Structure 1
Amino acid sequence: MLQYIGKELRITVHRVLWELLPPPQYRKPLTWRNVPNAFAYLIPFCFMAYLVRRRETRIIRLLVLPTVIVMAIRGTFSYDWFDPRFSFFTWVRGLFGLTIMGMSIDYALVKNGRFKIGENTLPALHESPPVSTGSSDGIEQNAQSIFPTWLVDVVEVCSALRGFGWDIGRGVHVPTDPRPLDRELFIKATMLTFVKHFLILDFLETIIKFIPGIGTPAGGSIFYASLPLAPRILVSTSIVLLSAALMISGFETIYAAITIVAVQYLGHPPSAWPPLMDNPWAADSLSDFWAKRWHQALRRSFLVFGGIPGGWIAGRVGVVLGAFLASGMFHECGTYLLGRGFDHRVTVFFAVQGIFVVLERVWKKWMHGITED
C-alpha cells in the first residue's frame, strides 16, 4: 500500500513539474493572444502589494503567496518566443518573473507590512493610504497624481526595489544626484539622460553586432583561437569592456524611462529616484563595486532568496555568501529560459564574488590591526 502511494505521489509530482517547468521543446509559443496568460501572475502580485500596505493582513498575504509563486513559475517557464532574435527579451522576462517571486515572498513574510520612513501605522484593509506633499525625516512625499491613491501606493511599493524612503532601505547607499530636485527641471534632466544613454546603447550594440561570431543570435566565444595569445586577450578584453558599457547604458536607458513615468504621471518625488548607479568604473574594491557602485535594484530579492537564510546559518558572513549565491542562481535561472540548459559557471562566478568580498573584509581588518600595532 505504501509503495503504491509513493508511486502515485512521484507520478503526481512529475506531472506538476512538467506543467510548471516543461522542457524547452514543449513550451508554448508566446503570442499576443496568450501574453495575458503568461503575465497573469501580476494580478495576485499587485493584490499582495496592496495588502502589504494594510495592517493586519499577514494571514491573507501568506495564503495568496502560493498562488503567485505557481502562476509566476508557469507564466515564466511555460512560454517561449522560439526566436533567437528575442533572446535578450526572453532572458529579461525570466529575470522579471524571478524578481516578482522574490518580492512576493518578501511581502508575504513581513509581519506588520511595509512602512515608509516616518510612518507609524498603516491604514485598514478598506482604507486608502494618506498622500501628503510635505516631507518626513527628509524624505519628500508624493505629489498629486491623476491615478487613484491606492493604485499609486501599489505602484510605489512595487517600484521601491532599493527601498529609498522605506523601512527596508536603511543603510542602502544613495548615489549623489546631480539633477535639480525641482520636478520640472528634474524631468528635463532625466529626459536628457535617457536620450544620451539610448544613443550610446544603440552605438555599442551596432559595434558588437559587427564582431565576427559574437553579434549573432546564437552567440559565440569571445576568444579567437586563430589569434596569438596577446592579441586574443586584447580582443576578448575589449569585447568584455564594450559589453559592460552596453549593459550599463541599457540599464540607465530603461531606468530613466521608468523614472520619467513615475515622477511625471504617478506623482513620485524626484528624491525617490536617485541615479541607478554610482559610476561603476570608479570602484576600487569588490565591496565598493557591489555595495555602492553597481545598481542595488535586486538587493532585496537576493537577500530574500539567499542572504536572510544564510544569515540564520552563519551570521553576517552567511548573509554575504547567501546573497551572492542567490544572485548566481537568479541569473542562471533566467538564462535557462534560452533553452541551453544550466551552466553553473555563472552561479560559481557570483558565489566566488561573495567569497572574495568576505576575504577582502578580513584583509582590511587584518591590515588595520597591523597599522594600529
Structure 2
Amino acid sequence: MGYLARRRDTHTIRLLLLPTILVVVIHGTYGYGGFNREYAFYTWLRGLAGLSTIAMTLDFTFTHEGRLKIGESSLTPINEQSPPPSPVSSESSTSSNVPPHESVAERSLPPWALDTLEVCSTLRGIGLERLRQGRIIVPHPRNPPFTTLTHFMRTSIISFIKNYLILDLCLVVFKSFPGIGTPLGGSIYLSGLPLFHRHTVALLLSIFSGFTLISGFNVLNGAATLAGVGLLRAVPLPNGPRSSIIPGAADSPTRFLDKASGTKPLTKNVLGPRRLLLVNALLANLG
C-alpha cells in the first residue's frame, strides 16, 4: 500500500486492496490464541503494531492524490521507474555542516523500494505535502546545533545510556515490591503498611510507571537513531535527537501525546476530530 501511495492514478487499486489487507492484518494480530502472561508485553507490542498498520493502511488508501513530498507536483506512474529519492526535507530545520553521504540502503536497494520504505517509516510526516500545514511539531533548534556527525553520535549515545539506566532503575524498583512487575500482577496499595506509607508508596510507583514509559520510548528512539545514523549512515537533522516533552508541563493528555509523537495522531488525520470522538465514545461504552 505504501508503494501504491507513491504512484499516480492508483486510488482505485488501493480501494480494492483495502479489505484484503485489513483482513490479513486483523487475522495476523488477533487470530492467534495461546496467551501467556509471561509474554504480555510482546502481545501488547503485536497489538500496537497491528493497530498502527491498520491506521497507515487507511491513511494511504483514502489519500486520493497519493503521498506527495514537499516540492513535488505529481507522482511517478506505476509503469515507470522511480527516480532516486531525494532526502526528506523539513522547512523548520536549520542548516547543518554534516556532509551528505550515501547510505547502505541506497547502495543495496532499488529506488522504488527506498521510496516505499521512506513513506512507510516517516510516521511524523516530515517532508510530506499533505501533513505540511499545522500538523508537524518540529523540536526547537539546539543551541548550538549539531555541526559534526561525531557530535551528534556522542550526544545520542549519552542520551541512550542515560535513558537505559533510568529504565533499569525503574524496573528494579518495581521488582522490589511483592506482586509488582510480575506477570501475575498485584496492587500498588500494600495492605501491610500504615495509611500514609501505603499512599506514599502507591504515588511513587505511579511516578515510576510514568518514568518507565518515557525512558522506554526514549531507549527505542535512541536505538533506532544509532542504527539509522551509525550503521545505515543516514543524514541526521540538525535539531535531533529530539528530547522528550516534560509530562508535568502538559495541560492535557492529548496535547502531551501530540507533542511526544511530534505530530497529530494518525487516527485523527484519517477520521477527523468529530468521528474520532464518536469512535472513542463507542470504545468506552464497549469497555
Please tell me the residue identity of whatever aligns with 1:289: F
1:164 aligns with 2:126: yes
- Residue 247 (structure 1) shift: 0.8
Which one of 81, 84, 92 corresponds to residue 130 of structure 1?
84
1:146 aligns with 2:146: no
Q: Is the 8 A contact 1:187 1:260 kept in 2?
A: yes
Give the aligned partner of residue 356 of structure 1: none
1:175 aligns with 2:139: yes
Greater RCO, CA 8 A, separation 6+: 2
State the distance in 2 between where 1:175 and 1:114 align: 23
Paired positions, count: 273
Q: Is the 8 A contact 1:255 1:276 kept in 2?
A: no
* Aligned-partner SS, 1:253: helix
- Residue 241 (structure 1) shift: 0.6
Further displaced range: 246-255 or 160-169: 160-169
Q: Is the 8 A contact 2:163 2:216 kept in 1?
A: yes
Further displaced range: 101-110 or 201-210: 201-210
**Residue correspondence of structure 1 range 32-51 to structure 2 within 5 A:** 48-51=1-4
State the distance in 1 between where 2:241 and 2:103 align: 23
Further displaced range: 131-140 or 116-125: 131-140
- Residue 127 (structure 1) shift: 1.9
- TM-score with structure 1 setting the length: 0.64
Q: Is the 8 A contact 1:50 1:150 kept in 2?
A: yes
Q: Is the 8 A contact 1:213 1:221 kept in 2?
A: yes
State the distance in 2 between where 1:225 and 1:173 align: 45
Please tell me the residue identity of whatever aligns with 2:247: W
State the distance in 1 between where 2:286 and 2:187 align: 15
Give the aligned partner of residue 217 of structure 2: 251
State the distance in 2 between where 1:86 and 1:145 align: 36
Change (3 A) 1:121 1:191: farther
- TM-score with structure 2 setting the length: 0.81
State the distance in 2 between where 1:127 and 1:159 align: 21
1:53 aligns with 2:6: yes
Which one of 87, 90, 93 corresponds to residue 40 of structure 2?
87
* Aligned-partner SS, 2:126: coil
* Aligned-partner SS, 1:271: coil
1:207 aligns with 2:173: yes
Change (3 A) 1:169 1:182: farther
State the distance in 2 between where 1:156 and 1:298 align: 19
**Residue correspondence of structure 1 range 94-109 to structure 2 within 5 A:** 94-109=47-62
State the distance in 1 between where 2:34 and 2:262 align: 29
Which one of 68, 82, 89 corresponds to residue 21 of structure 2?
68
Further displaced range: 171-180 or 195-204: 171-180
**Residue correspondence of structure 1 range 224-239 to structure 2 within 5 A:** 224-239=190-205
1:167-211 Cα offsets, whole Å, 9 max, x none, are 225322222364626444323322332222122212211221221
Please tell me the residue identity of whatever aligns with 2:71: G
- Residue 74 (structure 1) shift: 0.6
Please tell me the residue identity of whatever aligns with 2:114: V
Q: Is the 8 A contact 2:137 2:263 kept in 1?
A: no
Change (3 A) 1:136 1:222: closer
Please tell me the residue identity of whatever aligns with 2:119: V
- Residue 262 (structure 1) shift: 2.9
Q: Is the 8 A contact 1:65 1:108 kept in 2?
A: yes
Q: Is the 8 A contact 2:146 2:238 kept in 1?
A: no
Change (3 A) 1:134 1:236: closer
Give the aligned partner of residue 111 of structure 1: 64
Please tell me the residue identity of whatever aligns with 2:6: R
- Residue 261 (structure 1) shift: 2.8
Q: Sequence identity, in percent?
A: 36
1:33-84 Cα offsets, whole Å, 9 max, x none, are xxxxxxxxxxxxxxx1111111111111112211211111111112256332
State the distance in 2 between where 1:267 and 1:119 align: 25
1:218-272 Cα offsets, whole Å, 9 max, x none, are 2122223444443222111111110110111110111111223333455543129
Which one of 300, 317, 331 corresponds to residue 266 of structure 2?
300
Give the aligned partner of residue 291 of structure 1: 258
Considering fraction of residues, name the structure with more helix.
1
State the distance in 1 between where 2:220 and 2:156 align: 11
